[in-house]
Amino acid sequence: MQNAGKFYIDGKWIDPISSQKMDVINPATEEVITQITLASEEDVDLAVAAAKRAFVTYSQTTVDERLGMLERLLAIYKRRYHEVADTITSELGAPTTMSHEQQAAAGVDHLEDFIKALRDLKTEETLYNGETLLREPIGVCGLITPWNWPMNQIVLKVIPALATGCTCVLKPSEFTPLNAMLYAEMIHEAGFPAGSFNLIQGAGPVAGASMSRHPDIAMMSFTGSTRAGKAITKDASETIKRVTLELGGKSPNIVFDDVDIEDRITFSVLDVFNNTGQTCDAPTRMLVQRSIYDDAVKVAKRVGDATTVGDPTVEGNHIGPLVSHIQYDRVQTLIQAGIDEGAKLLVGGVGKPDGINEGYFTKPTIFADVNNNMRIAREEIFGPVVVMIPFDTEEDAIKIANDTPYGLAAYIQTPDAAKADRVARKLRAGMVRINGAFPRAGSPFGGYKQSGIGREGGMFGLEDFMEIKMLHKP
C-alpha cells in the first residue's frame, strides 16, 4: 500500500513526526504485510488542530451538501468493495467468503442507512411548549475502532460524525490499519473538505490516551475492551468530554426445551464460530434447559467436530486464524482454565489444529457441564469457544443470564412467542435476538452495564454526535 507509514491529515498524506514503526502481520502466515508508523502525542496534536480548523466551516455545511458527499462515498465504496474485503482477509484473517459477505458488506449497509437517517434528521423543531430546539454538531470527535469488525466500526463512527457536521480524527486498531487507509482514500475522492476527516495510526497507551485527554476534542467514541474503555473514560474526565463506548460481552443464549434441537443448537454453535469467535455480541454462554441438555450436547459436539479451520484466502465456510499472537495466547490460556476448572471438553482444546504449524489458528472448542462461576463463563474469551450451562426453569435461566458484569446482547431460542417476549423483557441486555433474528442496519447497537454507554447506528447514532441547544424567545 503506497500510503503505509503515512497519516492522512488536513486533506493530505504526510510523513509522521514519530519514527516508531510496527509490522502489520498476516495472521494466517505470520508474514509481514507492511509497516505502519505509531503516532506520537505531537502527531495527535497535528491531526486535532486540522480537525479544529476545519470544524469552523464544515459545521456550517448544509444537510444536502453532506448528503451529496456521502452518496459519492457510497458509490466509491461499492466500486472498491472487493479491495476492502481482500484487505480485511489479509490483515484480520477473516475467510474470504465471510469478508465479502459480511465484513465488507457492513460498509455498504450502514452507510446507506445513515443516508436515510440523515434525510429524516430534525436539526430544528418546535417543542410542545412553543420553544425552539436545535441539534448541532458537537465538535471535533476522536474515534478509536477495533480490529475484529474493522470496517463495520469505522463506518459506525466516521459516518455519523461527518453526517452531522462534526470533524474527526480516526485511530483504527494497529493490528488492522490497512482498511482504514483505503477508507481515507475514498473519503478524499468523495470530496470531503480538508481536515474534516483525519487518520492516524497508533497504540492505545500513547495515541489513544493523547486523544482522550486532548482539550480540543469534544467527544470520544471507542469500541474495544472494557479495560480500555475504563482508561479512556478516566482520561476524558479531565476535560469533561462526551464519551460513548461499545465494549465487551458474554452474551447468554437461552435454549428452551420446546425447540428443534438440531436446528437451534447448530445455529448457536456456528454463530459463535463466525469470525473465529471474535465478535463482542456472540452467544458464547449457551444455557440449555435440562430436559434436552444431553441431546443438545450431542448435537453441539457433532457440529463442533464438523467445523473446519483453514486458509482464509480459500472460499468456503471454514474459520480462519485469530488476529494476533496476543489474542492466540489469551484464548489458549482461557481454554486451559476451562480444563483446569473441571468443565467437560467436548471438542477442541489447547494448541493448534492438527496439521497446522504456522499462523494464529486455534481449535474450535466446546465445553459442557459449565457452571456460571467458572472463568470461561465469566470472562470474554473472544475466540471460537462455546460454554454450555444447564438450567431447570425459566426463572433459573433469567437469573443465570443476568449474572454477568456485561449486558451487550442476549439470545432466546423458543417457538413460543409469548415466552420469548416475556423473557426478553427481563434480560439486562441492550439487544435480544430471538430465534436467530439478525440485527438490521439502523437499529441502535449497544449494551447495558459494563458493555458500554450510548448506541451506534441509524438515527440514534447520529444523535450521539450532536448537542442540543434551546432558543428561548419572548
300, amino acid identity: A
Q: Single out the residue of 99, 274, 284, 236 nearest to residue 176, CA to CA.
A: 99
Please say whether the beta carbons of 142 and 168 come within 8 A: yes
Instruction: Kindly report the number of other CB atoms within 10 A of residue 468's CB atom.
Output: 9
Per the annotation, the verdict on 168 as an active-site residue is: no
Please say whether the beta carbons of 401 and 413 come within 8 A: no
Residue 184's alpha-carbon distances to 175, 189, 296, 361, 376, in angstroms, are: 17, 9, 47, 31, 39
Report residue 220: phi and psi, to 5°: -115, 130
Per-position DSSP letters for 68-125, written without gaps between them = HHHHHHHHHHHHTHHHHHHHHHHHH---HHHIIIIITHHHHHHHHHHHHHHHH--SEE
Going along 304-408, which residue ranges are E strands? 344-347, 365-368, 385-391, 406-407
366, amino acid identity: I
Please say whether the beta carbons of 383 and 362 come within 8 A: yes
> How far is residue 142's CA from residue 186's CA, in Å, rounded to a whole number?
20
Per the annotation, the verdict on 141 as an active-site residue is: no
Identify the bridge partners of residue 466 per DSSP, sorted by sequence position: 137
Q: What share of the chain is helix, strand, coil (3-state, %, to 5)?
A: 40, 20, 35
Identify the bridge partners of residue 410 per DSSP, sorted by sequence position: 432
Instruction: Kindly report the number of other CB atoms within 10 A of residue 474's CB atom.
Output: 2
- Per the residue annotation, which of 174, 246, 380, 456 is the catalytic one? 246
Task: Determine the straight-line distance between the first and last CA of the chain, rounded to whole angstroms.
Answer: 59
Positive/negative CA dihedral, 65, 139, 158, 80: positive
- Per the residue annotation, which of 141, 166, 168, 280 is the catalytic one? 280
Output the CA angle 398-403-404, nearest 5 degrees. Answer: 130
Q: Which residue has the cell 454538531?
A: 137
Catalytic residues: 246, 280
